[in-house]
Structure formats: C-alpha cells, structure tokens
Amino acid sequence: MNQEHSAHRFCVAPMLDHTDRHGRYFHRQLSHHARLYTEMVTTGALLFGPRERLLAFDEAEHPVALQLGGSEPADLAQSARFGERAGYDEINLNCGCPSERVQRGAFGACLMAEPALVADCVRAMRDAVSVPVTVKHRTGLDRAEEYGFLRDFVGIVAEAGCEVFIVHARNAWLKGLSPRDNRTVPPLRYEVAARLKHDFPALTIVLNGGLRDHDAALAQLVRVDGVMIGREACEHPWMLAAVDQRYFGRPAPHATRESVLDAMRPYLRRETATGVPVRAIVRHMLGLFNGLPGARHWRRTLSDPGLLASAGPKGSDRLLDRALGSMRRGEPSAALRAHTAECP
C-alpha cells in the first residue's frame, strides 16, 4: 500500500467549532505532517457570504484541505475554484454529515443515496481544479448494512475521478439521532473499510471513527492507507506531537508542551493585534495538559472571562504566563517539559 508515502497516512478530521484556522495553526505546531481539514464550508456561504474570511488560513497550515458541503455540481465547481485560488491542497466533499439542517440542504450523508449525483459533483470539481478532489462518507444509511450499497457508491464515484475516500466507519442514521449521537451510537464497521481497500486496491482508503490512540490507529494501517482522528486530537492535542515520528519517521516539531506554547506566542500577538479575540485562539489550547496534574488550573485560567477580556492585543503573553503559573503551583514544572515519548 506504500503507506509511508501516503499523503493521507494521518489526518485530523474536519470538525465544526474545532478545526477553524486557529485550531489548525495550533495543531500544526504539534505535527508538521498530519493532513489538516477545515470545518465544512457550504457552497452558499462561499458564493454569497464573506468568502475571504471563510477561506483565510496561514501558510504554516499546509498540507490543508477545504471541506465543502453542497450538492449542485456548478456551485461546487465554483467553490472548488475559490478554494484552489486561496491555496488549499485538496478539496473534500462532505457526504457524511447526518444533521437535519444539512439534510434540508440536500447534502451531507443523504448524498450517499445518490451516487450518480455525487459523481457529477466530483467530475465538475475535478474539471475546475488541479488539486485532488476527495470524498468523506459513511459506511451506509440508517440501519441497512448491505456492503453492496457502499461498494457501488465508491465504484461510481471513483469512475468520476475520485481517488481518495475517507470512510467514517459507521452508518449515518438520518432519523432519530443527533449529530453527536451519530458519532457514537451506530456500530463501528472497520471491516467494511478494509473490504473496500481489498476490492479497490488502486484507491486510497482512509479510516475514520472511534480511533482513540496511536496503537489502535497504527494497527489499522495494515488494512487501509490512512487514518483520521477527530475528537481525541482536540480533547488531548498533545497526542499529535507523536504523529511525525510514529507515522512518518520524522522528528516532532517540538519536544515539550512548553515549546509548543512558545511557538504559539507570536501567532497570538499577531492575530490579536488584528482584532481576533484571545479566546478564539486559546480555546483550542485548553486540552494541551489534559491528563497531567494541574491541568484543571490551566483550563480554568484560560477560560476565565475576566482574564480573557482584560488580556487585549498586548496581554496574550501575560495570560499564558499566568496560566502556566497557576499550573506550576499545583504541579512541578517537569510536567511542562514532558517529552513527546510520553504521548499515547
């Protein structure tokens, strides 16, 4: 499978409220090689909304993919053009979101019932851009588990030129479950993703869903080309510090949590000077010390409304120093310097 050469060997999942540009910049300080994804951006938002703001990202984020939500081939093609012009390395079509709001827009997971339409969308985007066009999808819809449904979906979309399929290894239950429950209640079906790789060996198959640590993720790489981790990377972001070494055989960008914070300081100063609220950035950093004694003090300081309001454009360094100080008072400083070898 040439896994060591796959651009999708390790990916951080697109997640609403988590993988905005500040979250992605933070994640990039932890791993140079993880593939990052935006939150889903709808075609309507790009065509009629604040396009420049929605597409903004830092050059340090590469490789980074733009995830689109939509079902009109022409709109998706134009949105893909916008994404490529902005500098994104990949355009990803969301065929996995089960929310009722997304269903009302006739895109997301419900598109799996219309593989010919998805193929038209992929073809239109591929004709419009030179960067890869990929698809993220589920293993099926509702409680139906016939493999043939998924096999035919992938086969039809692959004929349109899609070469990378990110498989969230659960069915999408379109009725009766919230998006949150749809991430945990439908059973995991890892064997289905592995079967896709067996049946479509030329395609890149990336497994997503339920992966909580590196040992579990690496164990799947004997059957698929890549893995995608979501919530765990946000709740325990320090896990990303082990990615470059364990998946790519490369050194980590930073050996300690403290050096990651030092790398974030210039970004905080620069962004807050343009009017970005401090909270918009540091909220992504709340979990950096999760699992260590004193982490509660870190989170409490960075979440304090009064401290956040008083930080201002020139106060981000003081805020971080205060958070570190509160943590040190409850935990020896050695915890801050914990090496990446301690990552799960």
- Give the whole-angstrom CA distance, residue 207 versus residue 296: 32
Q: Degrees (nearest 5) of the Cα angle 212, 24, 44?
A: 105
Helices 115-128 and 147-159 pack at an angle, to 10 degrees, of 30
- Whose CA is closest to 115, among 53, 148, 85, 157? 157
Residue 282: exposure state from Cβ atoms within 10 A (0-12, 13-18, ≥19): buried
Q: Is 95 helix (H, G, I), strand (E, B) or coil?
A: strand
Asked if 57 and 86 count as a contact pair (C-beta separation under 8 A), the reply is yes
Q: Is 167 helix (H, G, I), strand (E, B) or coil?
A: strand
Q: Is 269 helix (H, G, I), strand (E, B) or coil?
A: helix
User: Each residue's pLDDT tens digit in the chain (344 positions)?
Assistant: 444 568 999 999 999 999 999 999 999 999 999 999 999 999 999 999 999 999 999 999 999 999 999 999 999 999 999 999 999 999 999 999 988 878 777 789 999 999 999 999 999 999 999 999 999 999 999 988 999 999 999 999 999 999 999 999 999 998 878 888 888 899 999 999 999 999 999 999 999 999 999 999 999 999 999 999 999 999 999 999 999 999 999 999 999 999 999 999 999 999 999 999 999 999 999 999 999 989 999 999 999 999 999 997 789 999 999 999 999 886 545 555 554 445 55
Asked if 327 and 288 count as a contact pair (C-beta separation under 8 A), the reply is no
Asked if 19 and 12 count as a contact pair (C-beta separation under 8 A), the reply is yes
Q: Which domains does the chain have, with CATH numbers?
A: 3-248 (3.20.20.70), 257-340 (no CATH)
pTM of the model: 0.94
The yes-or-no answer on residue 162 being catalytic is: no
Identify the active-site residue in 11, 95, 97, 121.
97
